[in-house]
Amino acid sequence: MAILCRPTVLVPEHVISMEQTLELARRLHPDHPRLDLVLRLVENTGVRERHLIRPIEETLRHPGFEARNAVYGQEARRRVPAAVRAALDSGGLDAREIDAIIFVSCTGFLMPSLTAWMINNLGFRNDTRQIPIAQLGCAAGGAAINRAGDFCAAYPDANVLIVACEFCSLCYQPTDHEVGTLLSNGLFGDAVAAAVVRGRGGTGIRLERNGSYLVPDTEDWISYAVKATGFHFQLDKRVPTTMALLAPALHGLAHRHGWDASELDFYIIHAGGPRILDDLRDILDVEASSFRYSRATLTEYGNIASAVVLDSLRRMFDDDALEPGARGVIAGFGPGITAETCVGTWVRAPDVPADLTPRRPRRRAVPAGTRRGVRPRR
């Protein structure tokens, strides 16, 4: 079975605090009829600070969709390589041992996908599969883990690299004044994350079963309106109540695996906001501390979209508090309304069962006529 190794998460150098966010809302929207409500909602997110790829003065300017998307491409190429190299190191692999790259992002658009640029510039083989996922929003982090697990189930000797690149600040729209949009302006942050899923060997979470679930008739609850000025984020006021609709899917997945979702050892949940975590805590009847890694991501980085589950996982890895055999769940929620969930067991390399004995996959010959990979750029 596939092993999800320690993720790497890198956040940009520009930081905006909760206090600065509230002051900006007061300055930019002094006549908003529901300003008090907006300020209260932003405060209640618990987001202490967020990281942005550009200074706040540049973030607030809108030079047009074309210019913004160009920034997306430039910054992705600048920031992704370091995350990739660190994730490969954590997984004990080099670029030529990767058989598929899953790239997830909902904050910019490139065609060909950044996977093509990565293969050409970061030392991956030319026959590496490319799996870009662009329209699952915050659920894409969970979807990437699930699709990586599926790939390794189909090809047991394979290794998969997951990359999440989310520059939410590039979706700021100065002309959008809906309460949900203004709340989002104080909630989302930027980050790049990467992780390796190994078909054999490694320390991390053994991915044992996954599932997808779509809540009927909720397509317009989380969405983009695509206009001349770019992506306009739309958030329905009913979104914070979705745990009542999604929790049964999580219970069902655990039950099919012979587990009780209320009696697991770890929970990695996409932290769209504190209300979602509070509701799920009550539905599952678990301790508030069960979601400490997800809450830490929300507090320190804000909602970093598809990178949330990878950052929460990183924090759990770094805490190093799990015993081999610990059972848990990973869940990402996003547009649709969609849930991408999986259950798995914590393993350390020496504890992997005999049929999963850690071994380095053999290097594959490069087919005649193809270009050999180049060394990663430093």
Residues with catalytic function: 138
Report the phi/psi class of residue 367: left, alpha or beta, with left for phi > 0 and alpha for psi in -120 to 50: beta
Q: Quote the CA–CA distance of 192 and 167 in Å, as a whole number.
A: 8
For tokens 């300020």, what's the residue? 39
In 10 A of CB 135, how many CB atoms? 13
Residues present in the chain in total: 378
Backbone angles phi, psi at 49, to 5 degrees: -160, 160
State the angle between helix axes of 292-301 and 274-284 in degrees (0 to 180), rounded to the nearest 10. 170
The DSSP result for 25-43, as a single string, is HHHH-TT-TTHHHHHHHHH
| Cα distance between the two ends of the chain | 33
Amino acid at 62: H
Q: Quote the CA–CA distance of 246 and 217 in Å, as a whole number.
A: 13
Q: Quote the CA–CA distance of 298 and 312 in Å, as a whole number.
A: 9
